[in-house]
Structure 1
Amino acid sequence: MKTLQSIRRLAVALLASLALQAAVHANTPAVEQHTASVNGVQLHYLQAGAGADTPVILLHGYAETSHMWLPLIAKLDDRRVVIAPDLRGAGDSSMPATGYDKKTMAQDIHALVQKLGYHKVKIVGHDIGLMVAYAYAAQYPDEVESIVLMDAFLPGVGDWEKVWLLRDKWHFNFYGETPLKLVDGRERIYFEHFWNDFAADPKHSMSEADRQYYTRQYARPGRMKAGFEYFHAFPQDAQDFAGFAQKPLTMPMLVLAGEKASGDFLITQAKLVDTHVQGVIVKGSGHWLMEEAPEQTIPALVSFINNGAPAQATH
């Protein structure tokens, strides 16, 4: 009898706890999924939040999708709309045959922003996403309130061919029929190179659940070919970015770089393209800042987006 009463009390306590959690989160906007037809492509995007603050656009990198931003969205959506698109070719966005230069990809995002009715945004990009973010700001400087570049490099800017991952430059040219055949059915083996070798500690990088998720995403028909096109377009990106850099940006720019990855290199590049750069080296982290060092990365992003200054500026 006492055992039955204990079970009942436990059940009541559990229900009360769940009700309390529901009440706490009742006013938290849910992350919604949408698709929009813009600039000749179908873009899938996540959207959350409400409020009067300037909307934020979050742009993912290679070997990931908009899914990577979920932990950050939860920290930003109390004051503004937050939008995280899948770039053309990735996630659930369409896969056109061309248009993987970052100038065109930025035009995709700009068309989405316009379609949603926003005239000014803050923009954040990681990896390939930072290249798209820069191309967006360079083409529409009056429509960007601030920009964040997260760990990679800018093709065509400064001494870019000595980028930190030069030892792994082989994958820049890894596209075409033979590479596609080599990775077919072995997508995870290919991505493990990025997730492990670009991390400070392979055992403290991408979670197992995320590895499985991204592998499934990119293993779908046509996705690997589209992803390879991001690198195939680098010569065009270098030409475009060299031209953009002739007119430096003036909006606040935050650079977050992994101590064991881009380091000072990306900060040095950023200062060649913007007159108002703040740099933060994320201690002990490799390339995957959101996954390897969320305790440093997320507060720095939230502080910069909300207040115009990161939690800790080092450069």
Structure 2
Amino acid sequence: MNAFLHTMRRAAGALLAAAALQPFAHAANAPQPAVAASAIQSHTIDANGVQVHYLQAGQASANTDATPVVLLHGYTETSHMWQPLMTRLAGERVVLAPDLPGAGGSAIPTSGYDKKTLAQDIHAMVHALGYRRVKLVGHDIGLMVAYAYAAQYPDEVDSIVLMDAFLPGVGDWQKVWLLRDKWHFNFYGDTPEKLVRGRERIFFEHFWNDFAADPARSVSDADRRYYSAQYARNGRMRAGFEYFHAFPQDAQDFAAFAKTPLTMPMLVLTGERASGTFLIDQAKLVATDVHGVVVPGAGHWLMEEAPDATMTQLVRFIDAPSAN
């Protein structure tokens, strides 16, 4: 399919919704921000025929390695999850946190929820903003998009961070620890949508509680209300289900990507009580320069369960000078 038809197909079903920038609650042990949350701006841009909403903070400095950072959220969350990290990183570099197509304030495409296509959308956003080289960070579904981005555009990625989930199609991926709950991978279509309508928070509580080491230290109540309201908007739950529906295609794509290992520095952060060393082991099958860190006592929600330890690792890695 040529580029024009691809754009028209994806744009045809787009539903653009305004996304207000929401304040975040700092964890008690979170480090002090480098810039105020009020410095984070909300924008929307056309990317690959899809209207993508994104948050932006910071500005480039001639005195530092100012490669922009792109932060990619996971399921049940939006770009909102990254605000504490954005305030830490945005002193002398541009930090971008898009809502994945189908989530938050981004449009809802009729197709293209495989991670290869989502990565192409984010890549188009980066280029539309005038950037070429980036540093990538992805959590959950976002790490899959980050990997697909780096695999397709390796010469444009200085470094990449994968945060707690797994890579479909890589190694023995069907046995990952979190897959004990893999019923939700096949939970899509009219009946599931009707079952969760008006009960979005009840559905999400399964993830926020069961994938956390301690539900009391997981996603905050304020954020649970915010994310539930975001996904309750028309079409958002269906789009979220499509991220999982696309896993068989992702597995094929990632198996092909893995034949050409990534060479840029890769940091893998996982929760001791979540994926453990599994994602680190997967990463070593797809990349040659992997540094893995298991966050002690943490579950899947690293930014919420262990904000200090997680952001310290992220800032140190991101601020390291680029090899190129």
d(CA) in 2 for partners of 1:200 and 1:25?
Answer: 29
Matches within 5 A, 1:13-24: none
Partner in structure 2 of residue 97 of structure 1: 110
Q: Which amino acid aligns with 1:210?
A: D
Matched, 1:57 2:70: yes
Matches within 5 A, 1:218-233: 218-233=231-246
**Over alpha carbons, which structure has the higher Rg?**
1
Partner in structure 2 of residue 163 of structure 1: 176
Aligned with residue 46 of structure 1, among 40, 46, 55: 55
Q: Could you tell me whether the CA contact under 8 Å between 2:136 and 2:159 is conserved in 1?
A: yes
Report the Cα offset of residue 197 of structure 1. Answer: 0.1
Partner in structure 2 of residue 117 of structure 1: 130
Report the Cα offset of residue 51 of structure 1. Answer: 1.8
Structure 2, unmatched stretches of 5+, are: 1-32
Q: Secondary structure at the residue paired with 1:280?
A: strand
d(CA) in 2 for partners of 1:144 and 1:166?
Answer: 30
Q: Secondary structure at the residue paired with 1:92?
A: coil
Q: Could you tell me whether the CA contact under 8 Å between 1:28 and 1:78 is conserved in 2?
A: no
Matches within 5 A, 1:158-237: 158-237=171-250
Q: Could you say what the CA RMSD is over the residues aligned between the two structures, in angstroms?
A: 1.6
Report the Cα offset of residue 28 of structure 1. Answer: 8.7
Q: Could you tell me whether the CA contact under 8 Å between 2:170 and 2:258 is conserved in 1?
A: yes
Partner in structure 2 of residue 31 of structure 1: 40
More helix by share: 1
Report the Cα offset of residue 250 of structure 1. Answer: 0.2
Runs of 4+ with >4 A deviation: 24-29
Q: Which amino acid aligns with 1:43?
A: V
State the TM-score, normalizing by the size of structure 2. Answer: 0.86
Go from structure 1 to structure 2 and tell me whether the alpha carbon gap of 1:221 and 1:142 turns closer, same or farther (over 3 Å shift): same
Partner in structure 2 of residue 271 of structure 1: 284
Of the structure 1 ranges 224-233 and 51-60, higher mean CA displacement relative to structure 2 is found in 51-60
Aligned length: 286
1:209-238 Cα shifts (integer Å, max 9, x gaps)? 000000000000100000000000000000
Q: Which amino acid aligns with 2:100?
A: L
Report the Cα offset of residue 25 of structure 1. Answer: 8.6
1:108-155 Cα shifts (integer Å, max 9, x gaps)? 000000011111000000000000000000000000000000000000
d(CA) in 2 for partners of 1:284 and 1:137?
Answer: 30
Aligned with residue 318 of structure 2, among 302, 305, 309: 305
Q: Which amino acid aligns with 1:115?
A: A
Partner in structure 2 of residue 281 of structure 1: 294
State the TM-score, normalizing by the size of structure 1. Answer: 0.89
Structure 1, unmatched stretches of 5+, are: 1-23, 310-315
Q: Could you tell me whether the CA contact under 8 Å between 1:252 and 1:308 is conserved in 2?
A: no
d(CA) in 1 for partners of 2:103 and 2:279?
Answer: 24
d(CA) in 1 for partners of 2:194 and 2:273?
Answer: 32
Go from structure 1 to structure 2 and tell me whether the alpha carbon gap of 1:251 and 1:219 turns closer, same or farther (over 3 Å shift): same
d(CA) in 2 for partners of 1:126 and 1:237?
Answer: 16
Go from structure 1 to structure 2 and tell me whether the alpha carbon gap of 1:115 and 1:164 turns closer, same or farther (over 3 Å shift): same
d(CA) in 2 for partners of 1:271 and 1:106?
Answer: 21
Q: Could you tell me whether the CA contact under 8 Å between 2:76 and 2:227 is conserved in 1?
A: yes
Q: Which amino acid aligns with 1:165?
A: L
Q: Secondary structure at the residue paired with 2:274?
A: coil
d(CA) in 2 for partners of 1:296 and 1:27?
Answer: 21
Q: Which amino acid aligns with 2:211?
A: F
Q: Secondary structure at the residue paired with 2:198?
A: coil
d(CA) in 2 for partners of 1:80 and 1:113?
Answer: 14
Go from structure 1 to structure 2 and tell me whether the alpha carbon gap of 1:193 and 1:56 turns closer, same or farther (over 3 Å shift): same
Go from structure 1 to structure 2 and tell me whether the alpha carbon gap of 1:40 and 1:161 turns closer, same or farther (over 3 Å shift): same
Q: Could you tell me whether the CA contact under 8 Å between 2:34 and 2:91 is conserved in 1?
A: no
Q: Secondary structure at the residue paired with 1:165?
A: helix
Higher relative contact order (CA 8 A, sep 6+): 2
